[in-house]
Amino acid sequence: MLVFIDESGDTGISSKYFVVAGVVVRRENDILEKHRRAVNEAKVGAFHFKNDSGVIRNVFISWINKMDLKAVIYVIEKAGYVDRCRVIEKLVKVIEPKEKLILVIDSFINNKRLEATLRDKLEAKLAEYLYVPVCVKFLKNTPGLQVSDYFASASFQYYERRDESYFLLLKPKIVKTVEERENEITRNDMEK
């Protein structure tokens, strides 16, 4: 099982919500082919929700809706800091993988040693309850991550700003949304 994970919002106090999107891909080749077509149609090198115009967003979303995938969204209304690792763990629990799990996470860390520590921590924590092999990779800007960026960003826009315009366009692909409104997840950026 291949899952692309991206986030939107801030782990600190500058946003009220923190959103993590997991895009479960059945056939990666389908994503690659449709992404290539979307890039050609939009005449862009890559998609990034925050930087794309409304026209570009609509082009990519129309292609996303043709892709063989499903999305799971984990939303936290937070009062303080959030631990990314624990949120990703919770998202994976919701996905309930039954076979080898490959997590491709948007690389938000510029420190390779810290990234390796987080990868090892995630793999160990997930192995405690999944009973399937787990492989965590940190990558940048792959087609699958561009898709998960759109789900995370559109969902964040919906929760943080009450702007549902793009969220509603992606909603047919969202199979589950989990909303958490508590401050039990505290900042733990790798200290433990």
Quote the pLDDT of residue 182: 62
Q: Which domains, ranges and CATH numbers included, belong to the chain?
A: 2-180 (3.30.420.10)
Cα distances from 120 to residues 90, 104, 138, in angstroms, run 17, 14, 12
**Torsion sign (Cα): 10, 94, 60, 35:** positive
pLDDT at 43 over 70: yes
pLDDT at 141 over 60: yes
The 3 state secondary structure assigned to the chain is CEEEEEEEECCCCCCCEEEEEEEEECCHHHHHHHHHHHHHHHCCCCCCCCCCCHHHHHHHHHHHCCCCEEEEEEEEECCCCCCHHHHHHHHHHHHCCCCCEEEEEECCCCCHHHHHHHHHHHHHHHHHHHCCCEEEEEECCCHHHHHHHHHHHHHHHHHHHCCCHHHHHHHHHEEEEEEECCCCCCCCCCCC
CB distance 77 to 17 below 8 Å:
yes
Q: How many angstroms separate the CA atoms of 38 and 16, rounded?
A: 32
Quote the pLDDT of residue 78: 87
* pLDDT tens profile 84-119: 888 999 999 999 999 999 999 998 777 888 889 989
Average pLDDT taken over every residue of the chain: 91
CB distance 136 to 103 below 8 Å:
yes
CB distance 159 to 125 below 8 Å:
no
Percent of the chain with pLDDT over 70: 94
Residue 112: how many other CB atoms lie within 10 Å = 10
Beta partners for 70?
Answer: 24
